[in-house]
């Protein structure tokens, strides 16, 4: 049920972002990054309890793979935005381009993503070199 609601929400956000690409409803790149990170954060939040409470089963494996995908997406999205300079808040002047990473939700998302990647490597679900890059 919750997964379906999350997917429904993301479909609505995706429609909004598509409208932005056509120019009918402009949205700042910082907000696009935030929405993408929030989506992946929600995937992690939805699945991390299965990892903490379940013994290894098909549900555990599926939850871990969902968390790995979300973690990789968070790290890639924020890294790409940082390199492109898209993490400056709209309307901010003379602010360092990486100041957006200080938003507490981004800090938590990066920490949790890194933790999950290391955990997945320890569970032999991904290679260690992938987890530490």
User: What one-character-per-residue DSSP string does 1-40 give?
Assistant: -HHHHHHHHHHHHHHHHHHHHTTSS---HHHHHHHHHHHH
Q: Are 43 and 67 in contact (CB under 8 A)?
A: yes
- Which pLDDT belongs to residue 32? 84
Q: Are 35 and 61 in contact (CB under 8 A)?
A: no
Phi, psi of 78 (to 5 degrees): -70, -35
- Which pLDDT belongs to residue 104? 77
In order along its 133 residues, the chain shows pLDDT tens digits of 787 888 888 888 888 777 766 666 677 788 888 888 998 999 999 998 998 886 788 999 999 999 999 999 999 999 888 888 766 666 655 555 555 666 778 889 999 999 999 999 998 889 888 888 7
């Amino acid at each position: 049920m919750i997964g379906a609601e999350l997917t429904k929400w993301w479909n609505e956000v995706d429609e909004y972002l598509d409208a932005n690409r056509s120019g009918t409803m402009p949205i700042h790149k910082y907000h696009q990054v935030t929405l993408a990170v929030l989506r992946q954060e929600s995937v992690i939040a939805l699945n991390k309890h299965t990892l903490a409470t379940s013994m290894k089963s098909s549900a555990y494996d599926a939850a871990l793979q969902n968390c790995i995908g979300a973690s990789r997406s968070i790290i890639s999205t924020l890294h790409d935005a940082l390199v492109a300079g898209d993490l400056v808040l709209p309307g901010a002047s003379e602010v360092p381009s990486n100041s957006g990473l200080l938003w507490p939700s981004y800090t938590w998302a990066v920490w949790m993503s890194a933790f999950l990647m290391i955990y997945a490597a320890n569970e032999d679900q991904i290679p260690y070199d992938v987890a530490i890059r």
